[in-house]
Structure 1
C-alpha cells in the first residue's frame, strides 16, 4: 500500500469553501492511499455490503494486519461528487478524537473513489433506538448522549478552523463493540471563523427532515447552534425511543410531541416504554429539558455544545450516584444483537433522501423556548 509523504495542507479558505484543487487536495492523504485493487483484496471482492447511501455502498473489509474496516465506495451514479468526497477526506485527516469515527485511508484510483474507516460493529444509534425491544438501558443512552456531545464539542472548539457538521442525526452516530458513540459522515461539514464571527453561507441547503434548525433554514447560514439544534432532536430520540418525525396519529415532529406532554407534567408518557421503568425520573426530566433548550426556535437561546457536555456530565454523575436497584445491563448488550458496522439498510451517508435543496420546505411548529412545567 502506498506510503508517500504529505505534501500540502489546505488553507482555511480552501477548507471552508470546499474549493480545493483536486490534484493538490489528493496530496493531503497520500500517506493513507489505497489502490482499487488493494480495496478488492481488503473487501474480498466487495463481497459483503454493510450499508448503502447516496455516496454508494459500504463494504466489510480486513486489512493485512487483521484490522476490521468499513470501505465506503463511491457509486458512479452517486449524487455526491468529488467535492464532498474531498471534503470528508480532508477533514478526517486533520481531526482526531475518541468520539469521531476515524479514517484509516482513502482511494482515488482513476474513476474509483473510496474512504476506509474504522469498523463500528454495533451500527447506528437509530438502530438501537428503534431496536425492536432489545435492551438499550437508560444508563447506556446517557453515555451515548455524552460521548456524542463530546465529539461535537471537539468539532466546534477543538478544530482549527472549527467545523459545523451540518447533518447531526441518529444515523450519523455509530457505536463500536463497546457501545462507545462516535460521530460519522463529514462530507457536508463546513468550517467557520469564530474569531471574526464569519459563518459560511452555502448555496445548497443541507440537512435531514426533522433535525434541521429553522433559523438555518431561513437564513441559509449554518452555525454551531445548528448542530446544537440537531443534537437536541437526537436527545429526544434517546429519551422517547421514537424517530425525529412521528407518523401517528398524524405527522408531527418529536419536539412538538414532547413539549406538549411535558407541559402537562406527563414524563411517563414521554419516556421509551422499552426501558421498563429502569430510569430515574429526575434524570430523564433533566435530559429532556436540555433537549428542549437545544431546540429553541432562536439560536441565541440555545446552549453551546460545551454547555451541553457539562450538563450531560451532571446527568451521568447523578445516575451513577443512585442505587443500583435497576441494573438492566449498563454497558452490556443483548448477545443476540448482531448489528453490522453501518446498519442493514440504514445509511450513514448524508444523502439518500437526507440531503435536500432549498425548495423543499420543512413543516415546522412554533416551538418557543418557554419553561417546562413540572
Structure 2
C-alpha cells in the first residue's frame, strides 16, 4: 500500500521524539497509528527502496511484515508490522531477564526458520547481512520476527559458487553467535568462544560454567535441550567455512531438539 507523507506525519504526531523507537546512521524508526487505528512502525531511511525490494519477496511468519511505503523526492519511508515486545537484546541483556530456556530455544528455532527460508526458498536467495539480537523482535506472543533488512542483499546470480557460499557461511556463523548469546546470556565473544571450546572438548559437564545462570533449572529435559542448542551454535561457528552447516541443516537440527 502506498501512503502519503501527510498520513505518515500525522500517524507519528509529526515524527515526535516521544514516538521515536531508535535512531541509527541509516534510519530512524517511529511508532505510528494509522487513521484506521492500526499500530505500525514507520522507518525513515535512504535505503527504503532497496530494502522494500528485498523484504517484499520475503513473506514468512518469522519475518517482520511490510504494510506499505512512501517514496518522494525528499524522504523515503517503509511502513512495517508493529512488534510490541521490543528486541531480543532488550530482554536477553536485561538484569531482570525472564526468558526461560524453552523461550530461548523457540526463538532459535524461529530465527533459523526465517534464515532457512531466505537462503533456500527465495529465488534469488537473500542474505540478511546483519543477524543480531537487536534485529530479532518479539511479538505479543513472544514469537521471533527477523527485522533490520537495511544491509540485506540478494545473492548474485552471475557470481555463483564460492561467492554466494561464502556469504551464506558468514551468515551461518553470525547465527551461531546469536545462539551462543541465548545460551550464555552475554554479548562477550570470548565467552561464546569458551562455550564452543567446551562443546568441542566433549566435556559437557563444564558447560554449566558458562550458561546463563538466570535460567537456572534442574530439569533434565531443559539440560538436554540447552546442550543441544549449544552444540548447534558451536557447529555454526566452526572456523572453516566449508565445514559449517547450511541453514537448512541448522533449522532441521533445532526442530529436533
The answer to whether TM tops 0.5 is: yes
1:226 and 1:304 map into 2 onto residues whose CA distance is 11
1:178 and 1:51 map into 2 onto residues whose CA distance is 22
- Work out which of the two has the higher radius of gyration on C-alpha atoms and give 1 or 2: 1
Question: Which residue in 1 is equivalent to 2:24?
Answer: 53
1:122 positional shift: 0.8
Aligned partner (choices 269, 279, 304) of residue 209 of structure 2:
269
2:10 and 2:218 map into 1 onto residues whose CA distance is 46
1:269 positional shift: 0.8
1:292 positional shift: 0.6
Deviations 1:224-243 (A, max 9, x none): 11111100000000011011
TM-score by length of structure 2 reads 0.90
Question: Which residue in 1 is equivalent to 2:92?
Answer: 129
Aligned partner (choices 35, 44, 66) of residue 64 of structure 1:
35
Question: Which residue in 1 is equivalent to 2:226?
Answer: 284
Instruction: State whether residues 125 and 173 of structure 1, in contact with CA within 8 Å, keep that contact through their aligned partners in structure 2.
Output: yes
More helix by share: 2
Deviations 1:125-160 (A, max 9, x none): 111111222311000111011001000011011111
TM-score by length of structure 1 reads 0.63
Q: Does 1:181 align with 2:144?
A: yes
Question: Which residue in 1 is equivalent to 2:245?
Answer: 303
Structure 2 stretches lacking a partner, 5+ long: none
1:195–1:290 CA distance, 2 compared to 1 (3 A)? farther
1:222 positional shift: 4.4
1:283 positional shift: 1.6
2:169 and 2:163 map into 1 onto residues whose CA distance is 13
1:145 and 1:194 map into 2 onto residues whose CA distance is 29
1:296 positional shift: 0.6
1:54 and 1:278 map into 2 onto residues whose CA distance is 44
Q: Does 1:238 align with 2:176?
A: no
2:251 and 2:83 map into 1 onto residues whose CA distance is 23
Question: Which residue in 2 is equivalent to 1:224?
Answer: 168
Secondary structure in 2 matching 1:297: coil
Secondary structure in 1 matching 2:207: coil
Instruction: State whether residues 127 and 171 of structure 2, in contact with CA within 8 Å, keep that contact through their aligned partners in structure 1.
Output: yes
2:20 and 2:149 map into 1 onto residues whose CA distance is 21
1:158 and 1:124 map into 2 onto residues whose CA distance is 26
2:77 and 2:3 map into 1 onto residues whose CA distance is 9
Structure 1 stretches lacking a partner, 5+ long: 1-31, 75-81, 202-220, 247-251, 316-374
Question: Which residue in 1 is equivalent to 2:10?
Answer: 41
2:127 and 2:158 map into 1 onto residues whose CA distance is 15
1:66 and 1:278 map into 2 onto residues whose CA distance is 46
1:191 positional shift: 1.7
CA RMSD of aligned residues (A): 2.1
Instruction: State whether residues 156 and 163 of structure 1, in contact with CA within 8 Å, keep that contact through their aligned partners in structure 2.
Output: yes
Question: Which residue in 2 is equivalent to 1:154?
Answer: 117
1:154–1:66 CA distance, 2 compared to 1 (3 A)? same
1:38 positional shift: 1.1
Aligned partner (choices 151, 169, 177) of residue 132 of structure 2:
169
Question: Which residue in 2 is equivalent to 1:100?
Answer: 63
1:144–1:117 CA distance, 2 compared to 1 (3 A)? same
Q: Does 1:258 align with 2:227?
A: no
Which structure has more relative contact order (CA 8 Å, sep 6+)? It is 1
Deviations 1:78-122 (A, max 9, x none): xxxx4x332101112222010111111112222111111101111
Instruction: State whether residues 54 and 153 of structure 2, in contact with CA within 8 Å, keep that contact through their aligned partners in structure 1.
Output: no
1:41–1:189 CA distance, 2 compared to 1 (3 A)? same
